[in-house]
């Protein structure tokens, strides 16, 4: 079957969230979702069989900073009605990763063929939500300014274990001058549902990052001599945890290729 | 006239705010006020003749982080009824500094002899208020742990000029691990009336501090290799501004020797 022609970012960027999802479902868009449907919440995805799902649910409760849980599907149900009309998590993300025993076995644009009646989907908050707010408040977000993907790093910060799920936290990094970093801490503190305040600021070595110029996911960004790296817990953490904890089966979004929902970013501001 | 015998900290530390003021008025206490009347707000003092007072009032409006104005006296009136019963700012601070043309000419324990009918008193919020909250939240405040005075530094951060009043900001510094610094930014953001969130974090040189081990006022504190210095705007700023702006006459509190009021620290939390 031949694929439909892909659309440009310009064609999609003005669309409402539901139209962006429709374009992705029709495979008109297979790239990162940053900047699409501005103002609307994008989420990280984790899909697990029911038994592991209950352990992972506890893992989210224990680790609200990397895994702020916004919604969960019924068993075998690929919809997430609380996040948007007609969401089908099997088709509505541009790219996925399929894991068996902690190893990536496929990175498809659609997971219909992998769907099973015992699967449960978890929608986890994403920092895109607070980035929108940072920019509104006049704080530059370097990877957006440089039009590249956000740099993500594995750290030595250990998550709280729940059942089989354990492992190190993944963080995103945004370099800022001190005054902007302080303001960014205030702004992101209002968004506990999308990682909230940073988990670290300053020396990367203190959280086990040996080389800040070599992110584990995404792209490296420049850091000025008068800037501090500021680190937020990241929704890619579950993928690192799955690689370490090796459940028999798991599906996630492909990093930076998120589910676009009908919720507004402002819905997740607690103040 | 012989002075009454001075009391010990232990004798005063359990007293209510009004009793602490009474002991200070009777010159039973002539030292720093940190830790006295815990839970009650202490304030910085600036006293100026009416004409300069109106300029200084505008200076406070322009510089709310170093000069958060909590109360102002009527012209010639040494009371501050909105801050406490029977406050007499001529006698109720343990030590003062008297300036003429920007030079300190006296550091008395009582300013009754200097009081004039044209003087106006300004009560400016003090970081003691948020320190109380930091400790309540389990965040160590180094100079309190070390039982010394808070280190204060002149910076190259310029205040906004109003009339004759201009000059560089003075900051207080508390070293913290990154996670505590992030939490401290959240906590102090709730207290805009007592300097609010920090003005800087990290490299002292970026705000013109050449040697962090040599504070301009107070005492040096140790900084761990895994800690960041965190800097808050300080109510000693007006004293540095008076030294630079050289009004004919001014009285201030002696650094760290504050007015103890009847207001509760919690009265100044906006959330």
Which tens digit of pLDDT belongs to each residue from A6-28?
A: 888 878 877 899 999 999 999 99
A170 in Cβ contact with A209 (< 8 Å): no
pLDDT in tens, chain B (271 residues): 456 678 888 788 778 999 999 999 999 999 999 889 989 999 999 999 999 999 999 999 999 999 999 999 999 999 999 999 999 999 999 999 999 999 999 999 999 999 999 999 999 999 999 998 999 999 999 999 999 999 999 999 999 999 999 999 999 999 999 999 999 999 999 999 999 999 999 999 999 999 999 999 999 999 999 999 999 999 999 999 999 999 999 999 999 899 999 999 999 998 8
The 10s digit of each residue's pLDDT in A139-172 is 999 999 999 999 999 999 999 999 999 999 999 9
Total-model pTM: 0.90
Closest-CA residue to B145 (of B236, B34, B265) = B34
Interface of B with A in 196-215 (CB under 8 A): 197-203, 206
Structure tokens at B143: 């100079």
Helix (H, G, I), strand (E, B) or coil at A144: helix
Interchain proximity A206–B197, CB inside 8 Å: no
B265 in Cβ contact with B190 (< 8 Å): no
- Closest CB from A181, A199, A271 relative to B201: A181
Interchain proximity A202–B271, CB inside 8 Å: no
Instruction: Give how far B170 is from chain A: nearest CA, Å.
Output: 16
Structure tokens at A132: 């929108």
The pLDDT value given to residue B13: 77
Beta bridge partners of B119: B49
CA distance A124 to A173: 18
Whether residue A4 is predicted with pLDDT greater than 70 in this model: the reply is no
Which contacts qualify for B16-19: CB closer than 8 Å, 24 or more apart? B16/B40, B17/B84, B17/B260, B17/B261, B17/B262, B18/B84, B18/B85, B18/B86, B18/B262
Helix (H, G, I), strand (E, B) or coil at B117: coil
Closest-CA residue to A238 (of A253, A257, A220, A216) = A253
Q: Decide if A186 touches B, using CB distance below 8 A.
A: yes
- Closest CB from A198, A199, A201 relative to B228: A201
Selected residue of A176, A184, A202 to mutate for chain B interface (largest B Cβ count, 10 A): A202
The pLDDT value given to residue B35: 86
The pLDDT value given to residue B65: 97
ipTM score above 0.90: no
Q: How many CB atoms lie within 10 A of CB A235?
A: 30
Closest-CA residue to B43 (of B9, B17, B12, B15) = B17
Residue of A nearest to B189 (CA): A186
Interchain proximity A203–B226, CB inside 8 Å: yes
């Amino acid at each position: 079957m031949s694929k439909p022609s892909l659309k440009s970012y310009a064609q999609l960027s003005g669309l409402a969230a539901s139209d962006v999802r429709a374009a992705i479902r029709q495979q008109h868009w297979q790239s990162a979702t940053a900047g699409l449907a501005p103002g609307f919440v994008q989420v990280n995805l984790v899909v697990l069989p029911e038994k592991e799902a209950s352990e992972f649910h506890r893992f989210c409760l224990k680790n609200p900073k990397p895994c702020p849980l916004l919604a969960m599907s019924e068993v075998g149900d690929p919809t997430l009605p609380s996040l948007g009309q007609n969401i089908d998590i099997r088709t509505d993300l541009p790219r996925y990763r399929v894991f068996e025993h902690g190893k990536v076995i496929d990175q498809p644009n659609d997971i219909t063929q992998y769907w099973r009646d015992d699967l449960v989907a978890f929608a986890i908050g994403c920092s895109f939500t607070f980035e929108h707010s940072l920019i509104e408040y006049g704080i530059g977000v370097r990877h957006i300014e440089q039009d590249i993907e956000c740099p993500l790093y594995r750290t030595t910060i250990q998550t709280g274990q729940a059942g089989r799920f354990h492992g190190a936290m993944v963080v995103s990094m945004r370099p800022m001058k001190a005054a902007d970093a302080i303001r960014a801490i205030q702004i992101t503190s209002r968004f506990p549902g999308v990682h909230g305040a940073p988990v670290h600021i300053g020396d990367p070595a203190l959280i086990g990052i040996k080389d800040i110029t070599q992110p584990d996911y995404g792209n490296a960004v420049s850091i000025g001599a008068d800037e501090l790296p500021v680190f937020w817990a990241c929704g890619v953490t579950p993928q690192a945890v799955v690689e370490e904890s090796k459940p028999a089966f798991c599906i996630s979004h492909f990093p930076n290729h998120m589910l676009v929902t009908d919720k507004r970013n402002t819905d997740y501001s607690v103040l």
